[in-house]
């Protein structure tokens, strides 16, 4: 996704951080707590609505899971018995509550197709998806930080234009196409990597990381392009601040002012975007997992949908939504901690 | 320099819109005619971009595929504008009230759903196809436009000419339609361009995993999916549709950036 970061807000940020860190206007703890409680209440409401929406949408899905599992020749009484075993014969409302109640207790139910607890299936897939998301996040940060710094330090010059041009290209390239091209070059022609599949962590850390490398690069590139732009514009915003001029007047070079003063203040919006990108990477890997045949969460949802394994679909989607909502909550609190006006407004 | 990239964006976008339009009346070959004897040919004089595994001409497929991409993305943006803009106007007109709160929290909620997973869920529930892909992409455009509209409208409500309209006895609805809407139109055009390019990427992604346009309707994402198993011996099958997507999205993004600079005087002044 393309993230256009509002410039005004960045400037506000830098300003507030400065005031806060100088100790002249610390955050009012009582106010902060009230805001946090209010946001927490809305977090709970969001989660309830989200779970209801997910439940309803999957319930609408055509196809009887029991019939799907037993095949077309199944006897009616076997079907009924299986439905009872899966709890599909209970009223919908009751099933919703037992699903939500179970999740709160850490019990996600039993997968229709795998016949194992959903929590186990998810934990299994997270072993691929989580490292993949972290790997991609690390790569995108490693690319974006130097690139953003480089561009900001050379604003308007050839280096800046080249970096900005590259980021335009980065957001325009579909990651799955990039993945295909990477397979063509690095797996088929150069034979540096396998074309797909996951070696498994049992084969050793290095082997596991190797099979995640091409997918992680493919996932990271568009994210790195977005992050580079955020990094550059955050730096340029702070570079325009009075305290940078003061620092320069005190004799610091442009580069010293950038490293010692601007960078630290520019990091806050950048860290925010990194936080948001993480949940996107976790959920957004579905197509990349498809390209590389990786047994991750995305592929799990995809397979579960086609096998009518509703309980798995519901649980994974809920988990992803939960992750996004919680990250948003934390980000909002962080914003409020540094911008008192935001608190009083809400 | 900015102006140059805007014109480049315009040109790239125009090429693909034109290709889509021309494909209605003329294509180099028939996109449904199979010619197995002529399959997997690399680019040559008769077929500028080569042929696919059924011997279909790639130039033709790209042209007709542009039609699918543009149609899906355009209608998805239309859904976003048709539902999101009134919601945003309503929220701004009743700012601070429970209605505003409900609309904005609803927005946050839609944003919280991983869009791709939900799009997959929707197409899985209602069946794969271009129409359901449009709906899936369109739903996520609604909060985007609602937010942009509300953001733009909020500051307008404090302005003097709106005060004047209120003093003149105009109601909130009339002010929203007659005064607020024309003044946020610029923002909507810019956002529309961005969402349009995101829509093309999303359509390609959905078609790639088999949930978008169904064969025989040509689609860029579908072409990439078909190319995957043949990429080792016929790389042009993957390179051509991929570049079509990249150039279109790049063109739209450059155009969107240029439009924003041009339409927003504040940015023009603060341009870096």
Cα separation, A161 vs B4, whole angstroms = 13
**Nearest alpha carbon to residue B207 among B249, B245, B236:** B245
- What's the pLDDT at A215? 92
Where does the pLDDT of residue A1 fall: very low under 50, low under 70, confident under 90, or very high at 90 and above? very low
Determine contact: A334 vs chain B, CB below 8 A. Answer: no
Please list every residue in chain A whose beta carbon sits closer than 8 Å to the beta carbon of residue B198: 1-2
Cα separation, A184 vs B219, whole angstroms = 22
**What digits encode the pLDDT tens for the residues B167-182?**
998 888 899 988 899 9
Mean pLDDT of chain A: 80
Determine contact: B122 vs chain A, CB below 8 A. Answer: yes
**What digits encode the pLDDT tens for the residues B104-130?**
888 888 877 777 777 777 776 777 778
Percent of chain A with pLDDT over 70: 86
Specify the DSSP class assigned to residue A157.
S
**Beta-carbon contacts of residue B10 (< 8 Å; ≥ 6 apart):** B251, B255, B258
Please list every residue in chain B whose beta carbon sits closer than 8 Å to the beta carbon of residue A306: 124
Cα separation, A122 vs B195, whole angstroms = 33
* Least confident segment among A292-296, B48-52, B191-195: B48-52
- What's the pLDDT at B271? 43
Q: Which A positions 49-68 lie with beta carbon below 8 A of chain B?
A: 49-50, 57-58, 60-62
Please check the confidence at residue B139 and state whether its pLDDT lies above 50. Answer: yes
Please list every residue in chain A whose beta carbon sits closer than 8 Å to the beta carbon of residue B154: none
Cα separation, A190 vs A183, whole angstroms = 9
Please check the confidence at residue A50 and state whether its pLDDT lies above 50. Answer: yes
State the ipTM, two decimals.
Answer: 0.86
Where does the pLDDT of residue A18 fall: very low under 50, low under 70, confident under 90, or very high at 90 and above? low
Which residues on neighbouring strands pair with residue B51, listed in sequence order?
Answer: B57
Cross-chain Cβ contact A283/B205 below 8 Å: no
Q: How many CB pairs under 8 A join A and B?
A: 127
Instruction: With beta carbons less than 8 A apart as the criterion, state whether A155 and A186 touch.
Output: no
Q: Which A positions 256-315 lie with beta carbon below 8 A of chain B?
A: 279-280, 283-284, 286-287, 290-291, 298, 301-302, 305-306, 313
CA distance, residue B226 to nearest chain A CA (Å) = 12
| Backbone CA torsion sign across A82, A84, A89, A90 | negative
Please check the confidence at residue A90 and state whether its pLDDT lies above 70. Answer: yes
The span from the first CA to the last CA of chain A, in angstroms, equals: 27
Please check the confidence at residue B191 and state whether its pLDDT lies above 60. Answer: yes
Cα separation, A296 vs A308, whole angstroms = 18
Q: Describe the crossing of helices A175-182 and A205-239 by its angle, rounded to 10 degrees.
A: 130
- What's the pLDDT at B142? 93
Cross-chain Cβ contact B122/A184 below 8 Å: no
Pick the most confident of A86-95, B75-84, B226-235.
B75-84
Nearest to B112 among A50, A58, A172 (CB): A50
**Beta-carbon contacts of residue B147 (< 8 Å; ≥ 6 apart):** B84, B88, B104, B107
* Least confident segment among A137-146, B25-34, B76-85, B194-203: B25-34
Coil, strand or helix: which one is B57?
Answer: strand
Tokens of A206: 């290095």
Please list every residue in chain A whose beta carbon sits closer than 8 Å to the beta carbon of residue B242: 173-174, 177, 180-181
- What's the pLDDT at A147? 93
Q: Please, where are the H alpha helices in chain A?
A: 7-22, 29-60, 65-70, 76-86, 92-104, 118-153, 158-172, 175-182, 205-239, 242-249, 254-257, 263-284, 286-292, 297-306, 310-338, 340-345
Cα separation, B157 vs B89, whole angstroms = 11
- What's the pLDDT at A297? 86
Coil, strand or helix: which one is A111?
Answer: coil
**What digits encode the pLDDT tens for the residues A246-286?**
888 888 887 888 887 777 777 777 877 887 787 778 777 88
Tokens of A123: 């934990």
Place of tokens 């990250």: A327
- What's the pLDDT at A7? 54
Cα separation, B210 vs A305, whole angstroms = 13
Coil, strand or helix: which one is B171?
Answer: coil
Which residue from A minimizes the CA distance to B191? Answer: A4
- What's the pLDDT at A81? 80
Cα separation, B98 vs B106, whole angstroms = 12
**Beta-carbon contacts of residue B160 (< 8 Å; ≥ 6 apart):** none
CA distance, residue A209 to nearest chain B CA (Å) = 23
Cα separation, B192 vs B188, whole angstroms = 6
Determine contact: A106 vs chain B, CB below 8 A. Answer: no
Nearest to A287 among B111, B208, B239 (CB): B208
Q: Describe the crossing of helices B236-263 and B181-208 by its angle, rounded to 10 degrees.
A: 170
Which residue from A minimizes the CA distance to B107? Answer: A46
Q: What angle do CA B268, B187, A267 make, to 5 degrees?
A: 65
Nearest to A174 among B117, B118, B204 (CB): B204
Cα separation, B57 vs B30, whole angstroms = 8
CA distances from A184 to A287, B155, B162, B211 (A): 17, 51, 59, 24
Where does the pLDDT of residue A216 fall: very low under 50, low under 70, confident under 90, or very high at 90 and above? very high
Cα separation, B6 vs B259, whole angstroms = 8
Instruction: With beta carbons less than 8 A apart as the criterion, state whether A89 and A80 touch.
Output: yes
Determine contact: A40 vs chain B, CB below 8 A. Answer: no
* Least confident segment among B52-56, B76-80, B131-135, B234-238: B52-56
Helix (H) and strand (E) counts in chain B? 11, 0
Please check the confidence at residue A58 and state whether its pLDDT lies above 60. Answer: yes
Determine contact: B171 vs chain A, CB below 8 A. Answer: no
Where does the pLDDT of residue B1 fall: very low under 50, low under 70, confident under 90, or very high at 90 and above? low
């Amino acid at each position: 996704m393309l993230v256009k970061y509002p410039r005004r807000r960045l400037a506000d940020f830098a300003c507030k951080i400065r005031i806060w860190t100088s100790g002249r206007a610390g955050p009012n703890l009582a106010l902060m707590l009230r805001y946090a409680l209010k946001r927490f209440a809305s977090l709970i409401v969001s989660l309830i609505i989200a779970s209801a929406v997910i439940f309803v949408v999957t319930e609408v899905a055509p196809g009887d899971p029991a019939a799907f599992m037993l095949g077309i020749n199944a006897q009616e009484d076997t079907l009924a018995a299986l439905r009872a075993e899966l709890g599909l014969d209970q009223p919908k409302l009751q099933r919703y509550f037992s699903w939500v109640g179970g999740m709160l207790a850490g019990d996600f139910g039993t997968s229709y197709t795998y016949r194992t607890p959903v929590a186990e299936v998810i934990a299994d897939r997270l072993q691929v998806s989580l490292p993949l998301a972290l790997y991609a996040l690390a790569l995108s940060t490693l690319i974006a930080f130097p690139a953003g710094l480089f561009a900001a330090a050379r604003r308007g010059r050839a280096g800046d234009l080249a970096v900005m041009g590259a980021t335009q290209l980065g957001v325009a390239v579909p990651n799955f196409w990039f993945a295909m091209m990477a397979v063509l070059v690095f797996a088929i022609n150069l034979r540096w990597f396998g074309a797909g599949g996951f070696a498994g962590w049992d084969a050793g850390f290095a082997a596991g990381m190797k099979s995640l490398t091409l997918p992680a690069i493919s996932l990271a590139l568009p994210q790195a392009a977005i992050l580079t732009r955020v990094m550059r514009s955050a730096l340029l915003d702070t570079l325009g601040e009075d305290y940078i001029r003061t620092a320069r007047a005190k004799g610091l070079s442009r580069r010293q002012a950038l490293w010692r003063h601007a960078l630290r203040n520019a990091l806050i919006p950048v860290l925010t975007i990194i936080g948001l990108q993480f949940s996107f990477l976790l959920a957004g890997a579905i197509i990349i997992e498809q390209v590389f045949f990786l047994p991750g969460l995305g592929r799990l949802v995809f397979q579960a949908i086609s096998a009518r394994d509703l309980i798995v679909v519901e649980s994974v989607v809920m988990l992803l939504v939960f992750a996004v909502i919680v990250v948003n909550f934390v980000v909002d609190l962080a914003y409020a901690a540094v911008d008192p006006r935001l608190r009083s407004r809400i | 320099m900015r102006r140059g990239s805007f014109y480049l964006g315009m040109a790239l976008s125009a090429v693909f819109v034109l290709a889509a339009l021309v494909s209605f009346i003329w294509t180099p070959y028939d996109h449904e005619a199979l010619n197995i004897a002529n399959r997997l040919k690399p680019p040559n004089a008769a077929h500028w971009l080569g042929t696919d595994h059924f011997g279909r001409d790639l130039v033709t497929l790209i042209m007709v595929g542009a039609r699918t991409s543009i149609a899906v993305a355009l209608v998805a943006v239309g859904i976003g504008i048709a539902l999101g803009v009134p919601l945003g106007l309503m929220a701004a007109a009743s700012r601070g009230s429970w209605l505003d709160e409900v609309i904005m929290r609803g927005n946050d909620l839609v944003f919280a759903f991983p869009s791709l997973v939900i799009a997959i869920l929707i197409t899985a529930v209602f069946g794969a196809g271009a129409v359901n892909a449009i709906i899936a992409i369109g739903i996520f455009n609604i909060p985007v436009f609602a937010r942009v509209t509300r953001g733009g409208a909020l500051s307008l409500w404090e302005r003097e000419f709106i005060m004047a309209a209120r003093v003149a006895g105009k109601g909130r609805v009339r002010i929203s339609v007659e005064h607020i809407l024309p003044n946020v139109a610029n923002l909507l055009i810019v956002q529309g361009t961005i969402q349009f390019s995101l829509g093309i990427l999303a359509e390609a992604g959905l078609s790639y995993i088999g949930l978008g346009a169904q064969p025989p309707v040509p689609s860029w994402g579908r072409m990439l999916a078909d190319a995957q198993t043949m990429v080792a011996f016929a790389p042009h099958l993957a390179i051509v549709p991929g570049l079509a997507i990249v150039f279109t999205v790049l063109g739209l993004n450059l155009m969107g950036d240029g439009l924003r600079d041009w339409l927003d005087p504040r940015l023009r002044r603060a341009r870096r």
